Amino acid sequence: MSRELVLGIYVLILAAFVGFEVISRVPAVLHTPLMSATNAIHGIVMLGAMLVAGSADTPLLRAIGILAVALGAANVFGGFVVTDRMLEMFRKKEAPPAATDGKKPGEHR
59 binds another protein (CB under 8 A): no
Which DSSP string do the residues of 55-101 spell out, in sequence order? T--SHHHHHHHHHHHHHHHIIIIIHHHHHHHHHHTTTS-PPPPSGGG
Query: How near is the Cβ of 74 to another protein at its closest, in Å?
Result: 4
107 binds another protein (CB under 8 A): yes
Site for another protein in 3-42 (CB under 8 A): 4-5, 7-9, 11-12, 15-20, 22-42
Alpha-carbon distances of 20 from 4, 7, 63, 95, rounded to whole Å: 24, 20, 37, 34
How many residues touch another protein under the rule CB under 8 A: the total is 95
Query: How near is the Cβ of 13 to another protein at its closest, in Å?
Result: 8
